[in-house]
Amino acid sequence: MKTKKTKVNFQQDRCCPITGEASERLAQAFILIELLVVIGIIAILLFGKNLPAHAAKFAKMYREFRRGLTDIQSQIDFTGELTGETSSKPKPKKTYSDYDDRDDISAPKFEPPPAPPEAL
């Protein structure tokens, strides 16, 4: 029995280059990495030996900011009003009919036209 030889197109087997949206995201990631490296170098040059202490202060300020933000979020009623107390019981989930604000359709009832008069 003879086997049939097939030609393999090696260009189809190669991995295609990154194009489109993926290449844009990759470029943004490289820019972000470069930016972080530059900020790190500037931080080392400015703070030197005191960098761990300054980083700890920054982390503490950031934690306090996040706590304050969550306190404010817990006080906000999502209808847009501020309340002084936090709600302990969850609100019931709204159904589709709660959001349905369409009025019932009221159209005139169809009446067929009157029959034409008959000729004598």
Q: Residue for token digits 């302990």?
A: 88
Q: Which residues, in sequence order, are CB contacts of 77 under 8 Å at separation 6+?
A: 83
C-beta of residue 26 within 8 angstroms of C-beta of residue 18? yes
Domain boundaries, the chain: 20-82
- DSSP secondary structure of 17-29: PP-THHHHHHHHH
The confidence score (pLDDT) of residue 73 equals 84
The confidence score (pLDDT) of residue 60 equals 95
- Give the residues of the chain that fall short of pLDDT 70: 1-19, 77-91, 94, 96-105, 120
